[in-house]
Structure 1
Amino acid sequence: MVLWLLPVAHASADAHASAGASVYPLTVTNCGREVSFQSAPESIVTIGQSATEILYALGLADKVKGTSVWFNPVLPQFRDADAGIERIADNDPSFEAVVSKKPDLVAVQYELHVGPAASVASRDQFNELGISTYVMPADCDGKDNNATGGDGTRTAAFSSASIYKGITELARIFDVQDKGKALVADLQAREAGAIAHAARLELPEDLTAVFWFSSPELSTDPFVAGRLGAPGYMMDKLGIRNVIQSDEEWPTVGWESIAKADPDVIVVARMERRRYPADDVDAKLEFLRSDPVTREMTAVKRGHIVEMDAHAMSATMRTFFGLEVLADALSTMSFEQ
């Protein structure tokens, strides 16, 4: 397993001196709503691993009172801090479990959990209790989460700027701007490094790929990445064409159609979550190698299968780590006919 390391922010008396202190009351426009803060929140509950890890990376673990919605273990440098924080739920928490922690702020990864048709609660429900909500911009900027099912449809291609925006705004809300700038600078350097690495490989111009997240059953149509989400961004930056051209975030597409497109590379999600049989990466690999349709695909025959952290396939801080994993994997492959 790849271990991704980030700089860990530590509190200090002059932590925000060079960036300038936040001025309260502070108002930010977040996913179409204005959210105001009279001061930096003191108590946070997170619904979504992305929000949790960004807050940890900003040195705010001491303010997090509960977490939920986990795909994989927390990044290694945050294990000690996370161990002392209650995990309210591995998957979707109840509204009651969240509000019982009496948070000032609920930080959210997906609008499907806290939004207009949310599985946990609407933002208005939290607001009625005096609890602010912040949804990571990567899940709403250039995206319609009410169009097609829970995962939504992209109206514009995912941009890494939406990740940096979320980090910067959270740093501003909590008055830790220097930590936010340092984190963004580190991720930008990694993003640029992975892109440069792939460019040096001189990959074929017609290289293609598909990203398989999971499937309700191994025998049914899989959830694969549409062209405009985080996997689409990875492929675009590394010069790869996605064989799936849907604007949906995670459409279901039949294996016969995927096999007909015959991608050069198959990227499969690795996760600890076990909602579906195909959440298990070993089950995915066994299916690809044994199914009469998939085993004839070029990528399967040539071993061009890449395992990637499922959380990196979502629009999160880990997307940049996924970019690195894909670039590194491509460097080991031969595409000569």
Structure 2
Amino acid sequence: MTTRIFLTTAVALGLGQAALAAPTDYPLVIDNCGHQVTIPARPDNVVSIGQSTTEILYALGQADRMAGTALWFTPVLPAFAEDDARVDRISDDTPSFESVVNRRPGFVPTMFAWMIGDQGAVGTRRQFADLGIPAYVMPTDCQGKDNSVGADGTRLAPFDIATLWDGIDQIARVMDAQDAGQALIADLQAREVAVVERARAMDLPDASAAVWFSSADLALDPYMAGGMGVPAWMMDRLGLRNVVTSDEEWPAVGWETIARADPSVLVIARMDRRRFPADDVEAKLRFLKTDPVTRRMTAVRRDRIVILDAEALHPGIRMIDGLEALAAGMDGLSE
């Protein structure tokens, strides 16, 4: 998958043709997932919990104001490798509350509500507020979603990419980097339009897909993309029908059920995380090609397996990379 460098010179120069955004007026108050978050001044020592929020901050040019990152699924985008090397990696997985607050952060954004919420794996909003630390959850993981149902929450409405643009815009305002935020959003939106036009031109009236993230054990039902999350949005934009219709974000679905639906394309996630055996993409491929049920699926027999970085299946700047890679994997479906 080709890595795109965000905020290219061309995009940056394009800012000169438009009025520059007004600077942030602090204190800034943001309505975030039903909570008011007050940012008293431009934050220093930002600690980002989640790869997507971290890479958004890097794309906005904020690495110098960051004191730590955590919760990584794949290597950082090459465009941000130098920035990432200067910022401490607190944990590849879920950090402790103490390890975050010890950095004395002025802002703690996260990609997942289950990291900072009523039952926060890192801590609750109240715990952070008691220490005067503004905590922020990306709108992509709370708007139109009930995070109290299912392991990863349940969608009440289909994922709306406008929540990603809102999140980028809000983080840009928090960091007083509005111009960079506008340029980043414009670049991503232009790429989305281009890849959707390419996919629609393929004219595939009944192409279908399924997305396998991981499995607690290869002998158990796999965690598949539900009918209203980010991967479902990607499939819908490209004209693919998701064979999994559950409203849960990543429901466990039996292979027999998936095989009966026989998707035209099978998407599997690649990640560095090794929480489960099936986190290993090679383990996924071996299973698909040897299991008596999965090896008979059309997508497996015809090698219509698309490998996407796990982070491209989460709401963030890599979503468009994933959209482009999935569209490329659709080539030849009409044959």
User: What is the TM-score with the length of structure 1 in the denominator?
Assistant: 0.95
The CA deviation at 1:184 is 0.2
1:185 aligns with 2:190: no
Mapped to 2, the partners of 1:176 and 1:255 lie a distance apart of 46
1:217 aligns with 2:217: yes
Partner of 1:198: 199
Instruction: From 49, 52, 58, give the equivalent of 1:50.
Output: 52
The CA deviation at 1:335 is 3.6
Partner of 1:4: 4
Partner of 1:138: 140
Partner of 2:333: 334
Partner of 1:113: 115
Partner of 1:92: 94
Mapped to 2, the partners of 1:225 and 1:324 lie a distance apart of 18
Local SS of the residue matching 2:198: helix
Greater Cα offset, 61-70 or 1-10: 1-10
Partner of 1:319: 319
Mapped to 2, the partners of 1:148 and 1:293 lie a distance apart of 27
Q: Which runs of 5+ in 1 are unaligned?
A: none
Per-residue displacement from partner, 1:47-102 (whole Å, max 9, x unpaired)? 10011000010010101100000000111111011001110000000001001111
Partner of 1:18: 20
1:310 aligns with 2:279: no
Mapped to 2, the partners of 1:314 and 1:109 lie a distance apart of 9
The CA deviation at 1:229 is 0.4
Local SS of the residue matching 2:268: strand
Local SS of the residue matching 1:213: strand
Local SS of the residue matching 2:68: strand
Per-residue displacement from partner, 1:246-266 (whole Å, max 9, x unpaired)? 000000001011111111110
Contact in 1 for aligned 2:278/2:284 (Cα 8 Å): yes
Per-residue displacement from partner, 1:107-144 (whole Å, max 9, x unpaired)? 11101111111111001101101100111110111111
Local SS of the residue matching 1:307: strand
Q: How many residues are paired up? A: 331
Mapped to 2, the partners of 1:217 and 1:4 lie a distance apart of 34
Q: Residue type of the partner of 2:256?
A: E
Mapped to 1, the partners of 2:36 and 2:52 lie a distance apart of 21
Q: Residue type of the partner of 1:258?
A: I
Partner of 1:167: 168
Instruction: From 21, 37, 40, give the equivalent of 1:38.
Output: 40
Greater Cα offset, 69-78 or 22-31: 22-31
Partner of 2:294: 294
The 5 A counterparts of 1:65-84 are 65-84=67-86
Percent identity among equivalent residues? 51
Q: Residue type of the partner of 2:253?
A: V
For the aligned residue pairs, the C-alpha RMSD in angstroms reads 1.8
Moved over 3 A (4+): 8-11, 14-17
Contact in 1 for aligned 2:215/2:221 (Cα 8 Å): yes
Contact in 1 for aligned 2:226/2:248 (Cα 8 Å): yes
Contact in 1 for aligned 2:153/2:249 (Cα 8 Å): yes
Per-residue displacement from partner, 1:181-213 (whole Å, max 9, x unpaired)? 00000000111111011012122x111110000
